[in-house]
A and B are shown apart, each in its own frame.
Chain A
């Protein structure tokens, strides 16, 4: 606190105000809602774009489940619409495209925009006390670039040979013209490149904004954990999305200009390039990507657990350190995706050790969550339920990752549904339910209205139990030996006995999907109908977006730049209770009865 007092508070506030990116308030409809440079509007644009594609990706997942439950039977309703030529039956080529696009859409065009695009844009300026992102125009370009990439994906479905079909990993040489000819695959690879450009723009904005525009008193150790998660994600995005960009670019050159980076063997001139190179490039990006998708959720969970347990987050600094450690380690483990590709055993063991090491900081984060909840006065509102659900689902995903990180085990489990179940627990269940946690939590702030709690809880139970059943079912089938991506698994006699299990899993998946309609209904009804007004701080929590701005926050967010006095998790402090009668005090709130800023009991990290 002392460092804050060396320069007078008004001077600090004036300096902070002078650094703000200011733009004139939009007057026309187009400037206000379409080509907006307001971070809050851009966040909502990302939200809609992401939610629409979430529905598309989910529908594709249902088609995969249908194929595994009833191979060769026409798909009801959707089959006639999408697969008219085959009478609604999913053929092998269509099946390949379905599982490819399910993965790609979910990762790049659904979860990423919701988790990073929406929460990053909406929360970063609000939680650090800034008027907008550091580069508001770049922010707008980021969204419109993203939209172009989504349009490319949509366009790919309408090409002659259909959309991409080389798996979400787009491994070469299957993804080259040799394996997947046709404009569809090219458009999909182009879409990956373009969405990468959008992510990079976003990352530049996020990294810079958090460095430069924190309000006076908002030290690094007073940032809400959500900010840490999003900031570290942005760093990973800035460093590793370009590697994916290079892979996509070289693949595009191979497909469209006849170069030979990834083509080899009989189809190549003069020996050709190296298909394995693609795997290196892809996974150098691909493993950090896993953490790109989970770190924001970790941050959100850390804050939500503290907020709804009415307790300070347990060992805040430990969680921050662990998240930094995970960020660093995530760059050193990509080889564990390639154990079966073939590599020097020494190198393989190195990757294995680093992979298993990641579980240490991950466990620090998870144990801190548990310690935060323990002994708290827990409020079981919908966001808290989703947070607990995320913790359990991610926990299962993390623990099963240990099996796959171990080489000898991985050789057996590689390319089985066990892998699919594992990464769905982490990246799908973890990220998706984590995003839902954030959405239920910040919905009142974004739209100024309350979602229906009862429908929210129904949505939670269907989602949580559904995900648990579906992915436990997948893991069991995988452990029994069912390979992933099989068009008709039952052509193998040893998988035939797993048909019952697959059928049950599929039914759970259909129920899970149907359960999401509860959310759709709740969301649409509240956004467009008359929801209960939220008020500025319905959850009674401490961070700036709740304490210093109404819901929804006005243009340029704050009446004046806030002055931050303490960390984000000031709950259950007896001194605060005595003075205010509340169990919480906002990050900017001066306590009645004199300035308590210098009181060590009130500064974060020590409390």
Chain B
């Protein structure tokens, strides 16, 4: 069998190399590559959050009283509602990935983004209330942990929200890349899962 082997560099380059950028793409291959990249990224970012939760654990274990008596308790209700909101947003994202039909997908994407915005609004409400009650970052390890973890998580929500909003606008105009939707879906579910851990560890526990 004669193998098409590149025996060595030649003088001129074949014309097909010069025209490579005009060749049609291969979406299935590209998506698989991008999904692996996204998985590595999320694995990497999961380590960041693991390290933050580890820090929380150590700081809390070293503090005699948690929460301190003279500092406001964290609310449970509003963040609990937020857990439902971000869960619903994730579900809407699943629908955006799976629904047949462009219109329904666009609607699902828009609702996912809207729910993300609701999440941030409620979270902002939680922050302002606690701040007014006197919980400020410089008030010791208890507020340090609270603000560091929630704000850092909210930044991730913000990034995801910007992406979802862009995708929703594009979908409404009928030219969204569904690969991008699925990739941002992975990211969005990740942010949701982190919130679940955060709610359990910071608000409830």
Interface set of A (CB-CB < 8 Å, partner B)? 9-10, 13, 15, 18-25, 131, 134-135, 138, 200, 203-205, 207-208, 211-213, 238-243, 245-247, 249-250, 253-254, 257-261, 268-274, 276-277, 280-281, 284, 536, 547-550, 554, 556, 558-560, 562-563, 565, 588-590, 595, 597
Known A242-B45, A242-B51; 14 more pairs at CB < 8 Å: A212-B32, A241-B44, A243-B51, A245-B51, A249-B152, A261-B141, A261-B148, A269-B140, A270-B140, A272-B141, A273-B144, A281-B55, A554-B13, A589-B7
Q: In the complex, what distance in Å separates the CA atom of A211 from the CA atom of B45? A: 20
26 CB-based A-B contacts, threshold 8 Å: A18-B26, A135-B37, A200-B44, A207-B36, A213-B33, A238-B47, A246-B52, A246-B55, A249-B148, A253-B144, A254-B144, A257-B138, A257-B147, A259-B143, A259-B147, A260-B141, A261-B59, A274-B59, A277-B55, A281-B54, A548-B8, A550-B9, A558-B6, A559-B17, A562-B5, A590-B3
**Chain A residues positioned under 8 Å from B18 (CB to CB):** 25
Contacts of B141 in A (CB 8 A): 260-261, 270-273
Kindly state the separation between the CA atoms of A232 and B7 in the bound complex, as whole angstroms: 30
Is B205 part of the contact surface with A, judged by Cβ < 8 Å? Answer: no
Interface on B for A, CB 8 Å cutoff?
1-10, 13-14, 16-18, 20-21, 23, 25-26, 29-30, 32-34, 36-37, 40-41, 43-45, 47-48, 50-52, 54-55, 58-59, 62-64, 68, 136-145, 147-148, 152
Task: For the complex formed, measure the closest distance between the CB of A84 and the CB atoms of chain B, giving whole angstroms.
Answer: 38
Known contacts A258-B138, A269-B140, A272-B141: does B5 contact A565 (CB below 8 Å)?
Answer: yes
Q: A9-B4, A270-B142 are in contact. Are A549 and B9 (CB under 8 A)?
A: yes
Complex partner residue of A246 from B5, B34, B51, B68, CB under 8 angstroms: B51
Question: Which residues from chain A contact B26 at a C-beta distance below 8 Å?
Answer: 18-19
Determine the chain B residues whose CB is within 8 A of the CB of A246 once the complex forms: 48, 51-52, 55
The 10 closest A-B pairs by CB, nearest first: A258-B138, A270-B140, A259-B144, A242-B48, A246-B51, A18-B26, A24-B21, A550-B9, A19-B29, A238-B44
A15 contacts across to B, CB distance below 8 A: 29
B44 touches A242 (CB 8 A): yes
Complex alpha-carbon distance, A252 and B102, angstroms: 45
In the complex, residue of chain A having the shortest beta-carbon distance to the beta carbon of B1:
A595
Partner of A253, one of B25, B48, B137, B140: B137
Q: Please tell me if the beta carbons of A259 and B148 are within 8 angstroms of each other in the complex.
A: yes
CA distance A563 to B63 in the complex (A): 61
Q: Contact check: which of B21, B30, B50, B64 meets A25 at CB < 8 Å?
A: B21
Chain A residue at minimal CB-CB distance from B148: A253
**B5–A589 touching, CB < 8 Å:** yes
CA separation between A25 and B22, bound complex, in Å?
Answer: 11
Report the minimal beta-carbon distance from A372 to chain B, rounded to whole angstroms: 26
Which chain B residue lies CB-closest to A138? B37
Q: Does the CB pair B14–A239 fall under 8 Å?
A: no
- Residues of B with C-beta under 8 A to A20: 20
Contacts of A271 in B (CB 8 A): 62-64, 140-141
A272 CA to B141 CA, complexed, in Å: 6
Which A residues are CB-close (under 8 A) to B6? 547-548, 558-560, 562-563, 588
Nearest residue, chain A, Cβ from B11 = A550
| Chain B residues with CB under 8 A of A9 | 1, 3-4
Q: Which of B9, B54, B58 contacts A559 (CB 8 A)?
A: B9
B50 to chain A: which residues have CB within 8 Å?
243
Please, which residues of chain B bring their CB within 8 A of the CB of A258? 136-138
Please, which residues of chain B bring their CB within 8 A of the CB of A205? Answer: 37
Interchain CA distance A550-B30 in the complex, whole Å: 28
- Write out the residue numbers on chain A whose beta carbons fall within 8 Å of the beta carbon of B45: 242
Q: Is the CB of A277 within 8 A of B32?
A: no
Please determine whether A563 and B5 come into contact, CB atoms closer than 8 angstroms.
yes
Q: For residue B59, which residues in chain A have a CB less than 8 angstroms away from its CB?
A: 261, 273-274, 277
A residues near B68, Cβ cutoff 8 Å: 270
